[in-house]
Structure 1
């Protein structure tokens, strides 16, 4: 399993670590309109899945803004998802207040389905560990980053390069 800390403290990640070359596991999350979304809803699309502990914190804010800006240049065959344990209402409010319209925010608060399927649920905090997953149109994971310290930024350039290489 990936070794992850949050504010310097070791945390236990629940679920199996995802490896490059694996088929992306299915999940069920909630969108900002309270509708269920699964991996199948994005079938045939390339996915950049940006996982953040909480949209209302500085690094999570910056991460979501960065991928929102980049998403404008990706084309219609790419979908950028930001997944957190935040309530859908908070995600909707934050996106509206910050002009975020190229990223789809999804909440894993109800079942932790995504967190457990992708090995990113921090047991001690019931938050998702900062991570990035790139999934090709066939559903294969082509890039994975579990950020070692949850309060630091992911490698944006590496994730974007991996997506553009598809």
Structure 2
């Protein structure tokens, strides 16, 4: 972390600062994913999703997901609304992590943020699918993709720091 030959500074050099921003974003995502896990457990244990909510059993998947997630965010109760809202926020922060990774010149930052983002988006779509069709395998896929996202960000934090 030198700025000039023979002179040390507490501030990292320019590429290091960009990599540090990616690490910080990925650390925030890890904590967000842990909170999402806990909210998901609360939804699983304490929320009964009605069979006839808006978006349930749609003829078209994406339209149903949009209606279901809108319903979950506004009329699905505190736990479900918190889970859906945090999921949408995680998508935004994961996209920001990708943008930050472009300037970091770190392949580890780039790939961990891409894989994490895709896993979060996939988990979100499977959450929407669970709302649409109430199939347990959608919930399992959502949980598996959550684990992929968390592992990706943890690996990125480790690799970027080396």
Both proteins in one fold, TM over 0.5: no
Q: Structure 1 or 2: larger strand share? A: 1
Largest Rg, 1 or 2: 2
Larger RCO: 1 or 2 (CA < 8 Å, sep 6+): 1
Q: TM-score, normalised by structure 2?
A: 0.27
Length-normalised TM-score, structure 1: 0.27
